[in-house]
Amino acid sequence: MKTIDELLSEGVTGKRVFVRADLNVPLDGTTITDDGRIRAVVPTVKALADAGARVIVASHLGRPKGAPDPAFSLAPAAARLGELLGAEVAFAEDTVGTAAESSVAGLADGRVAVIENLRFNAGETSKDDAERAAFADKLAALADVYVGDGFGAVHRKHASVYDLPKKLPHYAGYLIATEVGVLKKLTDDVQRPYVVALGGAKVSDKLAVIDQLLGKADRLLIGGGMAYTFLKAKGYEVGISLLQEDQIPAVEEYMERAEKNGVELVLPVDVLVSSEFPDLKTKAPAHPTTVAADAIPADQEGLDIGPETRKLYASKLADAATVFWNGPMGVFEHPDYAEGTKAVAQALVDAPGFTVVGGGDSAAAVRTLGFDENAFGHISTGGGASLEYLEGKTLPGLAALED
């Protein structure tokens, strides 16, 4: 995989460089609530612009239906990128039409343009190879060189991620190079003890990565909504907690294999419960009750790990040489259910080894809860991409860059 440093050494002055970024940021209307993914691509864009390239930045945002939708416009992201670069960024109101062509044609050396949401064109996400390739041809006409730096999308076989790099000289940006280097530390030459903390809503989303980690990790800490399927598999009452009954057989098999392989699989010993899901808009007090994990009332829902579990998980992370964390421990968006996620984040900060926050909601939680991002070894920009890499899958966007 050739990197951006090799491209810069070859010289980029006057060249049109297409940067596939990941500007898929959360929006409240037109207000960006977490700009982490935009900040992550700035080093690549700035290095190219400073070297005299004419930089075309492209990304998706959300899940529009293959047609323009103002709710998913990249205009706010383009404005924020300009603020972070300290320079004006042009914005094209289409992807491969007249506005995009005009914006690119008008670029001077060292300037940057953002084109509109790639998913406004059905060809971006099409499962039809010919339709995807046709859209990639139109994107290729805008540029001379391709730089892949949207790590959060490399697990997607989309036109701008998979097909486009085959049509242009291609290089990996700084973010992708960093992400791949970090993930290799979690798979190839792991320093031990290796502790993995997994949370989030659905156990089904994590089954494949758990399957792989049972042969690699020393400890697995389970929290979030997925924990209740594990607790149910142990025969516990879980009330009205999030539960995937159809996954219980797989969970039972994993618990047996963990014991056989000598992997310590740690489940909550107490949880915060309530009969109502909290109001995440008003943040009205929820008044949860703490109960033992094997004593959840039938009419209550588990919404966070309890204080004893927080202490337990912190102790299991205290000597870790390598940590990977993906998924919050509870409904961290509400202050009454944020302490479990906060405790795990703090334990990563305190851990002596290399700590990785695995993107998605975990990365959002770290920023929402006020942690210094520099206190972690790495905060990934791609939750799904990180998990699929750890599962051992071939990621289309990385494979395309390696050709």
Report cis status (omega within 30 of 0) of the bond before 76: no
163: alpha, beta or left, given left = phi > 0 and alpha = psi -120 to 50? alpha
Q: List the beta bridge partners of residue 292.
A: 270
Name the nearest CA neighbour of 199 among 326, 313, 310: 326
Between CA 386 and CA 264 the distance in angstroms is 22
φ and ψ at residue 291, rounded to 5 degrees: -135, 160
Q: How far apart, in Å, do the first and last CA atoms of the chain sit?
A: 7
Name the nearest CA neighbour of 199 among 85, 285, 346, 313: 313
Structure tokens at 6: 């090799």
Report residue 31 CA to chain centroid gap. Answer: 20
Between CA 271 and CA 294 the distance in angstroms is 9
Structure tokens at 175: 């973010």
Q: Which residue has the tokens 């003890």?
A: 193
Q: What is the H or E stretch that residue 325 is in?
A: strand 322-326
Structure tokens at 152: 């959060």
> CA gyration radius for the chain?
22
Between CA 241 and CA 226 the distance in angstroms is 10
Between CA 250 and CA 299 the distance in angstroms is 26
φ and ψ at residue 337, rounded to 5 degrees: -125, 25
**Amino acid at site 59:** S
Q: β-pairing, 219-222 with 194-198?
A: parallel
- 3-class DSSP state of 58: strand
DSSP state of 392: T
Q: Which residues are catalytic?
A: 37, 202, 360, 384
- 3-class DSSP state of 51: coil
